[in-house]
Structure 1
Amino acid sequence: MRDVQSVPDTCRNMFDMSIQEVNGKGPKKRKKSLEQICDNEGHRSELIEDAKKEDAKKEDESSSAKNGAGPRVEGVELLHWRDMPQHLQFNPYVLTGYRPLQSWSGCIGSLFYFHNETINILTHGVSLVFMIAVLPGLLPWSGGGGGAGAWFLSLCHLLGALAPWCGSFLYHLFMNHTQGASLYHRLLQLDMLGIWVSQSIGAIPMVTATVYCAPTLLRYTALAIYCLGSLLGLYKAMRAWSPWERRLCFAAPFCMRLLLAGARAARLGGGDPHAILHVFLQDAVSLGGGVIGALHIPEKWFPGSVDCCLNSHNIMHVLVVLAVYSMHQVTTKDLAWMSSVDCRAPLRQL
């Protein structure tokens, strides 16, 4: 028996109009069941209630999105900065688009949907594939008669060009792994190791070309000082925790490269004179990218507006690509110069 309060008004009216039929005195031609009609009316009311609940659910989702909850992509709900563990809260101005903690397969699966690390992963991943496929064929391994020296310098350049992409790609891809802060810091050290290889070993051809025609003692002393400064930078890089510490750990080899670049500009050092612009650009562009990354520009000015694209780390990655291009230009020109130079001529005539 239905509760009277739950019966729709239409059904009540039909009951009132058909009291004679209920008492057995109504027309015999009326065949439709009042109970069936009331069931139809009740079903219609249930559909209306379901529609209202669905609308309320959509409003709640819209409200949560406005309050910072991330969208759901490929079955993964992207998170807000405040929902992330402390070791992943390194940029307070990038507010949304964070991947949750994931397994190895989940991290690899994040390659196929868009989040706030996608640009960082792709810029270095694509560069890595391109360098592996193209760069070895562009280097003068024989050096036009340069022998083992040209082969070694070409290898240094190849390692310097590949290393930053490898470390950074792995760091950004697996930084949100469920193993947490311990794995994150190991990945960060791997990233720093790749940068160190690029900054130190990758610049050895330029350093060698600059002192190529210097007296033997001076040449090997300069190379030894550069190597010691680079090793000091590696030690500091493996122990650095703050963004500024990680950037300042390369100060020693950077200052020596700047000194050698000044010597080349003054024609007091060797190297292809046509490469002088790229000698300065390879370090200036890297320095600019590092400063932008440490200062969190431009997201510091527009928090939450450039979470997935055009934030400081995205800009820094693009500038690193340009810096490696300049390093490649310097290396190829200097290797060609060393294979043909006559060191008996005055430096200003080289």
Structure 2
Amino acid sequence: MGGGDNSKDKDSIGLLENDGGGERECCGKQGKGKRLWKKVKYQLVEYHSLPAFLRDNEYILGHYRSEWPMKQVLLSIFTIHNETLNVWTHLIGFFLFLALTIYTAMQVPNVIDLNSLQHLPDFLKNADLHKLQAELLTCLPSMPDLQRLRDEISSWHIKELLYNCLPNNVKDDLANIIAPLVISPITRWPFYAFLGGAMFCLLASSVCHLLSCHSERVSYIMLRLDYAGIAALISTSFYPPVYYSFMCYPFFCNLYMGSITLLGIATILVSLLPVFQTPEFRTTRASLFLGMGLSGAVPILHKLFLFWGEPEVFYTTGYEILMGALYGLGALVYATRIPERWMPGKFDIAGHSHQLFHVLVVAGAYTHYHAGLVYLRWRDLRGC
């Protein structure tokens, strides 16, 4: 019996050993399976595998991130997928405008003072002062109410009359030198409002393209933020041209600025509707934002009517036409999905319409920045 018991014990031990090996093998397979699932789970997928909320452009066939955890979504900013350039084109644009804002705050109010005074000795040396004095004496008696000149020497009107008395051949040079000494810079808040709107739009767009693949709820929130950023950029782009063009005409200034602000708010409210984000409304979205931009033609034409003949007006209008053309071309490319609709799958990573749209938006905003600098210099010198 003892031998039989020993045999049973050995069989039991063998059975336990076999079971242990099977368990270890099973656990090993499970570990490998988890690791493999992890790799597969965070692989890029094709368009037909996407949930409905991520299906926006059927001509981009692959390289999608789909419902990834937030950690992997954030880390994907450094990996290659079909949203990589969408993220970085506007993120780089954000840092560009952040640098421009800092530069404007630190340098633009003082750049004339520092640079112009260096040329004052050369100007005085080369100028025909006797001829200049004769021309000024000829001009000054024709000015109305000379007695008020002493009392209102700091007023914009008197400064403008003095500026207009200068001969054309020396007007710009002398004005650039003496203007900072007698004229306080005009208010900058409309210009900073535009810079803030541009930074908000670019950062919101970049974050939207990075995070929207996480979940349907996050995608819904991010798209609303993106639309709000576009409306903010368009609205605040109106502020510098409208304010600096019509600062001497408060009624028109308030009318135009109020109208574009209300239009921007209305656009944001419309964008909150769930149907607004569906692919079927892609053209409607582009048309709505394009319509906001085209409404700027009214104040531009009004500005040309009021200040026809002044060089700064033509310079700023040229910049604004270029900006509008860049924005309009971007909206057209976005709505028509060119070039990926011509060769589906060929532009999944680089070169598709949304990336081109982003580049054109940054280019248009940068063009508008230069128009703003012309407005500042013009109003600093001219005033009201």
- Partner of 1:150, secondary structure, is coil
Indicate if the aligned counterparts of 1:141 and 1:154 stay in contact, CA closer than 8 A.
Answer: no
Unmatched runs of 5 consecutive residues or more in structure 2: 1-37, 111-179
In 2: Cα distance, 1:294 partner to 1:307 partner: 17
Higher relative contact order (CA 8 A, sep 6+): 2
The structural deviation recorded for 1:226 is 2.8
Q: Which of 162, 175, 198 is the aligned partner of 1:161?
A: 198
One-letter code aligned to 2:253: R
**Contact 1:141 1:150 survives alignment (8 Å):** no
Q: Give the aligned partner of residue 213 of structure 2.
A: 176
How far apart are 1:164 and its partner, in Å? 1.5
Report how many aligned residue pairs link the two structures: 268
Please name the residue that 1:336 is paired with. Answer: 377
Is the alpha carbon distance of 1:74 and 1:137 closer, same or farther for their aligned partners in structure 2, counting shifts above 3 Å? farther
Question: What letter is aligned with 1:166?
Answer: L
User: 2: distance between equivalents of 1:105 and 1:196?
Assistant: 30
Q: 2:29 is matched with which residue?
A: none
Once the two structures are superposed, the pairs formed by residues 195-210 of structure 1 within 5 Å of their partners are 195-210=230-245
- Counterpart pick for 1:193 among 210, 228, 231: 228
Q: Which amino acid aligns with 1:82?
A: H
Cα distance between partner residues in 2 of 1:316 and 1:74: 32
C-alpha distance in 1, partners of 2:223/2:88?
18
Separation in 2 of the partners of 1:146 and 1:231?
Answer: 34
2:286, 2:334 within 8 Å by CA — same for their partners in 1? no
Residue 77 of structure 2 aligns with which residue? 111
Instruction: Say if 1:74 and 1:113, in contact at 8 Å, map to a contact too.
Output: no
Cα offsets for 1:198-231 (capped at 9, x unmatched): 11023211111232343x3333233323333332
* Equivalent of 1:284 in 292, 304, 325: 325
TM-aligned CA deviation for residue 322 of structure 1: 0.6
The worse-fitting range, judged by mean Cα deviation, of 166-175 and 242-251 is 242-251
Q: Is 2:48 aligned against 1:82? A: yes
Counterpart CA distance in 2 for 1:118 and 1:286 is 22
1:267 and 1:203 mapped to 2: Cα distance? 18
Q: Distance in 1 between matches of 2:339 and 2:195?
A: 33
| TM, length-normalised to structure 2 | 0.64
- Structure 2 letter corresponding to 1:167: A
Q: Which runs of 5+ in 1 are unaligned?
A: 1-71, 344-350
1:132 partner amino acid: L
Equivalent residues in 2 for 1:95-134, closer than 5 Å:
95-134=61-100
Does the CA contact (< 8 Å) of 2:73 and 2:210 recur in 1? yes
Q: Structure 1 residue 294 and structure 2 residue 314: aligned?
A: no
Shift in Å, 1:251:
5.2
Conserved? CA contact 1:95–1:304, under 8 Å:
yes
What CA distance in whole angstroms lies between the structure 2 residues aligned with 1:252 and 1:111?
33
Q: Deviations over 1:29-72 (max 9, x none)?
A: xxxxxxxxxxxxxxxxxxxxxxxxxxxxxxxxxxxxxxxxxxx9
Q: Secondary structure at the match of 2:296?
A: helix
Q: Deviations over 1:50-105 (max 9, x none)?
A: xxxxxxxxxxxxxxxxxxxxxx9999421110011111110000001112321111
Whether contact under 8 Å (1:211, 1:219) holds in the other structure is: yes
Structure 1 length normalisation: TM-score? 0.69
Of the structure 1 ranges 164-173 and 270-279, higher mean CA displacement relative to structure 2 is found in 270-279
8 Å CA contact retained: 2:64, 2:81: yes
Map of 1:17-166 to 2, 5 A cutoff?
A: 76-139=42-105, 150-166=187-203
Name the amino acid aligned to 2:95.
V
Contact residue 327 and residue 361 of structure 2 kept, 8 A: yes
Give how far 1:196 is off: 1.2
Q: In structure 2, give the amino acid aligned to 1:280.
A: I
Distance 1:110 1:225 in 2: 41
Hey, what's the Cα distance between the residues in 1 that align with 2:184 and 2:262? 26
In the alignment, the residues of structure 2 paired with residue 308 and residue 298 of structure 1 have an alpha-carbon distance, to the nearest angstrom, of 13
CA distance in 2, matches of 1:326, 1:102: 38
Q: Which AA in structure 1 matches 2:358?
A: H
CA offsets 1:293-325 (integer angstroms, 9 cap, x no match): 111111101011111111111111111111111
Structure (1/2) with the larger helix percentage: 2
- Point out the structure with max Rg over C-alpha: 1
